[in-house]
Amino acid sequence: MTTIDRRQLLRGAAVTAVAATVAKGTLAAPAGAAAAPPSAGRGTPLGAPRPLDGRPFPEYDYTRANKLPREMTGYWEKTFDVGGVTRTAKAYISPETPIRSYYTVIAVPGGVDTTDFLRRSGWREVADEREEGLFVLEPGDGGWGDAGAELAYVEAAMSFYESNRYFSIFGEHYLAGYGDGAPALEAWAVAHPLRVIGQVYLDSPGLPEDYLGAHAGVEFDGTTAPTYTTVVFPEGFELIRHDEVVLPTWYVNPAASAGASLAYWKRANDTAGDGERDGTLGTVFRQRHDSGRWMTSHAGPIAQVAVRPRPLEHAKPHTTDRVVAFLTRYTRYENFFAYGNQLYERADYKRLGVEVRTMTVEGHVREYLVHVPRSARRIWRGQAPVVVVWPGNSQTDKVFMDAAQWWDVAEREGCVVVIVCEQYSNTSISVSHRDSHAFFRQLRDVLTREYAVDPARFYSTGQSAGSGVTQNFAIAFPEYFAAVASTSFTVAPNAAGTVSLDGVAHPASHRPIPNYQIYGYGDLGFLEGGLWDDLDNQLDGWARYHLAANGLTLADVDTADGVAGGWQDRYQTWTWHAAGTAVPMLKLTRNNYRSHNTIPEETPLLWDFLRHYSHEVRADGDVVRYYSPSGFRRGGDRIRIAS
Tens-digit pLDDT profile for residues 48-72: 999 999 999 999 998 889 999 999 9
Residue 33's alpha-carbon distances to 25, 36, 219, 431, in angstroms, are 18, 9, 51, 20
Predicted pLDDT of residue 643: 74
- Residue-wise pLDDT for 568-626, tens only, equals 999 999 999 999 999 999 999 999 999 999 999 999 999 999 999 999 999 888 999 99
- Residue-wise pLDDT for 286-305, tens only, equals 999 999 999 999 999 999 99
Domains 6-52+72-338 and 352-641 share a fold: yes
Q: 3 falls in which pLDDT band (50, 70, 90)? A: very low
In the predicted structure, residue 508 carries a pLDDT above the cut 50 = yes
Predicted pLDDT of residue 43: 52
- Residue-wise pLDDT for 171-188, tens only, equals 999 999 999 999 999 999
In this structure, CATH architecture of domain 6-52+72-338: 3-Layer(aba) Sandwich (3.40)
d(CA 98, CA 82) in angstroms, rounded, equals: 31
- Residue-wise pLDDT for 184-219, tens only, equals 999 999 999 999 999 999 999 999 999 999 999 999
For the chain, give the longest Cα–Cα distance. Answer: 78
Average pLDDT, the chain: 93
d(CA 390, CA 485) in angstroms, rounded, equals: 11
In the predicted structure, residue 2 carries a pLDDT above the cut 70 = no
Mean pLDDT, to the nearest integer, of 347-360? 97
d(CA 591, CA 595) in angstroms, rounded, equals: 9
- Report the Cα 50 to chain-centroid distance in Å: 31
- Nearest CA to 13 out of 327, 351, 343 is that of 351
CATH 3.20.20.70 fits 352-641, yes or no: no
Q: Which residue has the higher pLDDT, 425 or 259?
A: 259
- Residue-wise pLDDT for 7-23, tens only, equals 333 333 333 333 333 33
H or E segment at 453? strand 453-462
Share of the chain above pLDDT 90, in %: 90
In the predicted structure, residue 4 carries a pLDDT above the cut 50 = no
Residue 74's alpha-carbon distances to 45, 163, 168, 170, 383, in angstroms, are 12, 19, 14, 18, 45
Going by their DSSP bridges, the two strands 483-487 and 515-520 should be labelled as: parallel
Cβ distance 462 to 490 under 8 Å? Answer: no
- Report the Cα 571 to chain-centroid distance in Å: 21
Mean pLDDT, to the nearest integer, of 558-565? 97
Domain boundaries, the chain: 6-52+72-338, 352-641
Q: 45 falls in which pLDDT band (50, 70, 90)? A: confident
Predicted pLDDT of residue 225: 87
Share of the chain above pLDDT 70, in %: 93
Q: Which one-letter DSSP state was computed for residue 568? A: G
In the predicted structure, residue 516 carries a pLDDT above the cut 90 = yes
Q: Which residue has the higher pLDDT, 310 or 4?
A: 310
Report the predicted TM-score, pTM, of the whole model to 2 decimal places: 0.93
In the predicted structure, residue 41 carries a pLDDT above the cut 70 = no
Predicted pLDDT of residue 642: 75
Predicted pLDDT of residue 407: 98
- Residue-wise pLDDT for 233-285, tens only, equals 999 999 999 999 999 999 999 999 999 999 999 999 999 999 999 999 999 99
In the predicted structure, residue 394 carries a pLDDT above the cut 90 = yes
Residue 366's alpha-carbon distances to 27, 60, 209, in angstroms, are 10, 14, 50
